[in-house]
């Protein structure tokens, strides 16, 4: 949001913030969410780079297509360890995973 728009909103009594402010997330909670989002994006990119369907990945990890879709959508029922294990099964290296983590905000 640009500075002028923010000033106009605040002048009219509005509070301006981001999602973390609205949800009252701690810095640690926010960092965890950003980390999980970065891993899910990397997982999807890795799958697409190999021209795999979600169903192909699911068979590879002995899971369901819907579970792979949930990983890529960063569903809260998916654990980070499952995402990392899936990335490793698709050939990701420790460095690839570290890079995804480093790219999280």
Which tens digit of pLDDT belongs to each residue from 27-40?
899 889 889 999 99
In a domain, 7, yes or no: no
The burial class, CB within 10 Å (0-12 / 13-18 / 19+), for 25 is: middle
Nearest 5 degrees, angle CA 78-CA 52-CA 76? Answer: 10
Domain coverage including residue 82: 52-105
Average pLDDT (79-96) is 96
Cα angle at 84 between 91 and 28, to 5 degrees? 145
Q: How many domains does the chain have?
A: 1
Residue 70 belongs to a domain: yes
CB 71 within 8 A of CB 43: yes
Q: Residue 15 falls within a domain, yes or no? A: no
**Is the pLDDT assigned to residue 94 strictly greater than 90?**
yes
> What's this model's pTM, rounded to 2 decimal places?
0.78
In a domain, 63, yes or no: yes
- Rounded CA-CA distance 37/32 in Å is 9
């Amino acid at each position: 949001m640009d500075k002028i728009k923010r000033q106009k909103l605040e002048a009219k009594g509005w509070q301006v913030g981001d999602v973390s402010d609205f949800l009252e997330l701690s810095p640690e909670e926010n960092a965890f969410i950003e980390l999980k989002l970065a891993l899910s994006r990397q997982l999807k990119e890795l799958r697409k780079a190999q021209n795999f369907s979600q169903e192909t990945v699911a068979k590879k990890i002995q899971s369901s297509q819907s579970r792979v879709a949930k990983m890529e959508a960063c569903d809260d029922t998916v654990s980070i360890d499952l995402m990392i294990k899936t990335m490793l099964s698709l050939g990701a290296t420790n460095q690839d995973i570290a890079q995804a983590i480093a790219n999280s905000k």
